[in-house]
Every structure is written in structure tokens, then in C-alpha cells.
Structure 1
Amino acid sequence: MKIQGRMFIWLSVFILAIAILYGVWSKEPAGTTALFMAFGLSVMVGFYLAFTARRVDAMAQDDKEADVADEAGEVGFFSPHSWAPLFLAAGGALAFLSVAIGWWLMYFSAPIILVSIWAWVFEYYRGENQNQ
């Protein structure tokens, strides 16, 4: 995690330099603001990773002599096959499309979003994935 923290801190320095250069050269407020906000986001992520790296054990990625197999093992639990995220994405796309086409499209996207969220939250309470 130390490496990622340093990468984001150096990225934030680069983005800050580009934001200042872009703001002085173009005098365009929207892009300058976006670059300064990207700088702030990069600082936050870099600080979090550097802060967390001091409190956890060194990982294989922090060791220059480590092999790829040193981090092998169980990564975690991943949900089985689920259709809910696909329908949630479709409902979200329709909701964002309603801004461009017309707000009437929100009447079709809101039920899709709500049912998809409900299905995703309660997918372990029914069917073959039900906990006994």
C-alpha cells in the first residue's frame, strides 16, 4: 500500500501543476475547477493509502524481492451469478437518459431501479443462494 500511496501523492503533484498551468493559459473556469477537484481527490486517496499503510502489515507488493505467488490465497467472497446489477445499470441508464429526452422516461426507469435494488439486496433470502 505504500507504493500506491506514493503514486497517488505524485499524481496529485502532477495534477496540481497541470491545473495551475491550464488555469493560467486557458482562463477557462470549468476545466480549471475540474482539474483542481481531481487534485483534491488524488490527495485524499493518496493520504488514505499512505495512512492505512502505516497501520497494516507490509504486503508482498511493498517488498522488492517478492514473487507474484506471495499474495496467493483466498481473496474474499464474491456473489454468485446475479442479474440484478445488469437491470440496475439499465434502469440507471434510462434515468440519466430521461434528463436528455424527457422526464416522462423516469416513470419507466424508477420501477426498474427500485425492483433491481430490492432483488440485489434480498438475493440471499430466496432461491438456491438462500442461507439455511
Structure 2
Amino acid sequence: MKIQGHVFLWLSLFFLVVTIVYGLWSREPVGTTALFLSFGLTVMVGFYLAFTARRVDTGAQDNLDADVADDAGELGFFSPHSWQPLALGIGSALAFMGVIFGWWLLYFSAPILLIGLFGWVFEYYRGENATQ
């Protein structure tokens, strides 16, 4: 993660320079704002990766003598049978269509989004997966 953090922080520096040059040269507020927001997003991701890299074990990608097999194994836990991302996707699609076609569509998307969000967060607190 250390390398990825540095890459994103260098990329954020590039975005900052491009934002300043573009803003002074074009005097166009929309593109300048978009580039500045890109700078902010890359700073957030880079800071998170650099901050997390200090607290976790060194991965194979940070070791110059590592083999490909050194990074093999389990990558994490992913729910194999969750329907909640589908509800979130449908609710998000309706919400974005509400911005385009009319804000009234948000009345239909908000309950779907809330059901999907609460279902995903509390998926392992109920039923056969409940922790004792």
C-alpha cells in the first residue's frame, strides 16, 4: 500500500499544477473546479493509503525481492449471497434518474436505498448469520 499511496500523492501534485495552469490560462470555472475536485479526491485516496500502510504489515508489493506467490492467499471476506447491492444499485439508478427527469422520483428511490443500505449493514446481525 505504501507505493500506491505515494503514486496517488504524486498524482495529486500533478492535478494541482494542472489546475493552476488551466485556471490561469483558460479562466473557465467549470473545468478548473473539476480539476480541483480531482486534486482533492487523489489527496484523500493517497492520504488514506499512506496512513493505512503505516499500520498494516508490509505487503509483497512493497518488497522488491518478493515473488508473485508471496501475495497469494485470502484477500478478504465477501458475502457470497447478498441481494443488498442489487437494491442499492436500483435505488441509486432511480435517484440519479430523479436528478435528470424530476425530483419527484426521489420519493420512490429513497425507500429502496434505505432498505438496501440497512439490509447490507445489518446483514450479519439477523437470521442464521446472527452473532451470539
TM-score scaled by structure 2? 0.80
Q: Which residue of 2 aligns with 1:87?
A: 87
Residue aligned with 1:58, SS: coil
1:112-123 map, 5 Å:
112-123=112-123
Gaps of 5+ in 2: none
RMSD of the alignment, in Å? 2.3
Q: 1:88 to 1:55 in 2, by over 3 A?
A: closer
**Distance of aligned partners of 1:99 and 1:40 in 2 relative to their CA distance in 1, 3 Å threshold:** closer
Structure 2 partner of 1:12: 12
The total of aligned residue pairs comes to 131
Partner of 1:37: 37
* Pairing of 1:1-132 with structure 2 (within 5 A): 1-124=1-124, 125-126=126-127, 129=129
Distance 1:84 1:4 in 2: 30
CA 121–16 in structure 1, closer or farther in 2 if over 3 Å, else same: closer
Distance 2:64 2:29 in 1: 43
Instruction: Using the TM superposition, give the Cα deviation of residue 113 of structure 1 relative to its aligned residue in structure 2, in angstroms.
Output: 2.1
Shift of 1:55: 4.0
Structure 1 unpaired stretches of 5+: none
Aligned equivalents of 1:40, 1:91: Cα separation in 2: 27
Letter in 1 for 2:16: L
In structure 2, give the amino acid aligned to 1:82: S
- Sort the Cα spacing of 1:28 and 1:46 in 2 relative to 1 into closer, same or farther, 3 A: same
Residues 122 and 5 (structure 1), Cα distance of their counterparts in 2 relative to 1, 3 Å cut: closer
CA offsets 1:75-130 (integer angstroms, 9 cap, x no match):
2221121222112211121122122212332232223223323433443312x645
Structure 2 CA distance, aligned partners of 1:66 and 1:23? 43
Identity of aligned residues (%): 68
